[in-house]
């Protein structure tokens, strides 16, 4: 096939796109079309390879005795959560893979208190890049021992060009302290019955399935669009006694299908955001992790969980909100800050926004 060239007619480009089948080909073509993304190619190759590697680890976790806690009694991460061996392994794989030499400046992970500079990972001070990455290396890691789905979430920012006066210090973390609306790319890998990588480079959402262990990611779900209204909701109902009354009322209306155009929703909760949001993306509906009386910001972390997922869902035609503000508009205040989140089908989320306005 002739290589498409920048500036070629859209029809030629879309023919080329329709013929591509693998993730690496898709990234190649997209980054030809959008020259500002060209340097993302090696970063995406790293992420693809990390997802392959983590998929293999997840499948072998019990046999290779890498399921279970990290450290004797379970080490804690910065958020006071017990780390699993697999959390740590997945974290190290992603950090090393995403640090494409000369492209990535630093990566910030759920499992590390501070961002890791790629120059340190690559042991070469010259390797400073224009991008910064955020990730949750293993999402839903409490599912590992039960053999249930887990995932990886990632997002990529460009370092902003700021016109700072010489006396003002440059914030080394300025790239990831931007609102999620500045994300260049985001995605997740779902390690379930199949290994699926869902990606947006800001031009729609595409799903790729790993054809065999260590093999290629094949474009299986091009142009994913979330239905405007769904029939399921994913929420930890065990905390319902701690929700604000309007959230309780919203979930009641979802169940009964009350309100104009609404339909009864069933519950479906895996307990791994990647798996739950993936189902919502495919079938429509709502994933929510609201605030509670004892944790007003809920549990989901803004930088490496809420933002990348919100970009994907919005790119697929859905909405994502704290209930009162668009998630992607929030200005981060800390690497590990948490936010309440309601994400999914446009009409389902609009119902919540209307209810909270009253
Ligand atoms: P992680 O394993 O990365 O800490 O994330 C788990 C998160 C999220 O994936 C999931 O939706 C939520 O925790 C489940 O929490 P509950 O068990 O409180 O429902
Ligand atoms: Mn997570
Ligand atoms: Mn995690």
- pLDDT, mean over the chain: 91
Residue 9: pLDDT above 80?
no
Strand partners, 288: 342
- Which CATH architecture does the domain made up of 18-221 adopt? 2-Layer Sandwich (3.30)
Query: Using CA positions, which residue lies closest to atom 3 of ligand 1?
Result: 139
pLDDT of residue 1: 42
* Higher pLDDT pick, 83 / 217: 217
Q: What is the mean pLDDT of residues 1-7?
A: 50
pLDDT of residue 80: 79
pLDDT of residue 170: 62
Residue 14: pLDDT above 60?
no
Residue 143 C-alpha to ligand 1 middle, in angstroms? 9
Question: pLDDT tens digit string along 224-265?
Answer: 999 999 999 999 999 999 999 999 999 999 999 999 999 999
pLDDT of residue 19: 59
The reply to whether the predicted model has a pTM over 0.75 is yes
What are the strands, taking DSSP E only, across 101-235? 104-109, 116-117, 131-139, 150-158, 185-191, 195-200, 205-210, 217-221, 232-234
C-alpha to C-alpha distance for 283 and 265, rounded to whole angstroms: 12
pLDDT of residue 77: 81
User: In which element (H, E) is residue 312 found?
Assistant: helix 307-315
Question: pLDDT tens digit string along 311-339?
Answer: 999 999 999 999 999 999 999 999 999 99
pLDDT of residue 137: 98
Residue 162: pLDDT above 80?
no
The radius of gyration of the chain's CA atoms, rounded to the nearest angstrom, is: 20
Domain spans of the chain, in order of start: 18-221, 232-357
Tell me, what DSSP letter sits at residue 65?
A: T
Ligand 1 in reach of 317 Cβ (< 6 A): no
Render 291-331 in DSSP notation, one character per residue: --SS-TT-S-BIIIIIHHHHHHHHHTT-EEESSSSBGGG--
C-alpha to C-alpha distance for 320 and 306, rounded to whole angstroms: 9
Both tokens of 51, joined, read: 């997802």
pLDDT of residue 122: 87
pLDDT of residue 291: 98
pLDDT of residue 249: 98
Residue 185: pLDDT above 60?
yes
Determine the atom of ligand 1 nearest the C-alpha atom of 139.
3
Residue 272 C-alpha to ligand 1 middle, in angstroms? 5
Q: What is the mean pLDDT of residues 157-169?
A: 69
Determine the atom of ligand 1 nearest the C-alpha atom of 276.
11
* Higher pLDDT pick, 128 / 45: 45
- Pocket of ligand 1, candidates 144, 272, 280, 301: which has the most ligand atoms within 8 Å of its Cβ, to mutate? 272
Q: What is the mean pLDDT of residues 85-92?
A: 95
C-alpha to C-alpha distance for 89 and 102, rounded to whole angstroms: 24
Residue 140 C-alpha to ligand 3 middle, in angstroms? 6
Return the top range by mean pLDDT from 12-16, 52-56, 79-83: 52-56
> Would you tell me which CATH number, out of the four given (3.30.70.1280, 3.40.190.80, 1.10.10.10, 3.50.50.60), belongs to the domain 232-357?
3.40.190.80
What angle do the packed helices 346-357 and 245-256 form, to 10 degrees? 140
Laid out side by side, the sheet with 319-321 consists of 266-267, 232-234, 286-289, 341-344, 319-321
């Amino acid at each position: 096939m002739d290589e498409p060239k920048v500036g070629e007619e859209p029809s030629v480009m879309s023919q080329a796109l329709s013929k591509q089948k693998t993730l690496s080909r898709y990234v190649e073509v997209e980054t030809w079309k959008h020259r500002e993304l060209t340097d993302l190619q090696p970063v995406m190759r790293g992420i693809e390879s990390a997802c392959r590697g983590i998929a293999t680890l997840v499948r072998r976790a019990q046999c290779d005795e890498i399921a279970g806690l990290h450290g004797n009694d379970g080490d804690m991460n910065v958020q006071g959560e017990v780390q699993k061996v697999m959390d740590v392994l997945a974290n190290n794989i992603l950090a090393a893979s995403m640090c494409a030499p000369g492209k990535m400046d630093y990566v910030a992970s759920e499992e590390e208190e501070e961002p890791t500079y790629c120059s340190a990972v690559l042991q070469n001070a010259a390797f400073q890049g224009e991008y910064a990455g955020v990730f949750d290396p293993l999402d839903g890691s409490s599912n590992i021992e039960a053999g249930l789905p887990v995932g990886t979430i990632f997002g990529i920012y460009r370092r902003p060009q700021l016109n700072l006066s010489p006396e003002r210090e440059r914030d080394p973390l300025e790239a990831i302290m931007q609102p999620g609306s500045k994300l260049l790319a985001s995605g997740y890998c779902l390690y379930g019955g199949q290994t699926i990588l869902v990606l947006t480079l800001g031009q729609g959402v595409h799903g790729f399935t790993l054809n065999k262990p260590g093999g290629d990611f094949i474009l299986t779900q091009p142009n994913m669009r979330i239905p405007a209204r769904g029939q399921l909701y994913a929420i930890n109902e065990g905390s319902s006694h701690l929700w604000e009354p309007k959230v309780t009322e919203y979930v009641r209306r979802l169940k009964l299908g009350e309100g104009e155009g609404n339909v009864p929703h069933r519950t479906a909760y895996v307990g791994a955001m990647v798996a739950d949001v993936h189902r919502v993306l495919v079938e429509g509906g709502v994933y929510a992790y609201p605030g509670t009386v004892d944790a007003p910001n809920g549990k989901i972390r803004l930088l490496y969980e809420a933002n990348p997922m919100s970009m994907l869902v919005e790119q697929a035609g859905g909405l994502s909100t704290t209930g009162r503000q668009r998630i992607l508009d929030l200005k981060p205040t800390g690497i590990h800050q948490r936010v309440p989140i309601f994400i999914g089908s446009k009409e389902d989320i609009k119902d919540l926004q209307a209810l909270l306005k009253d």
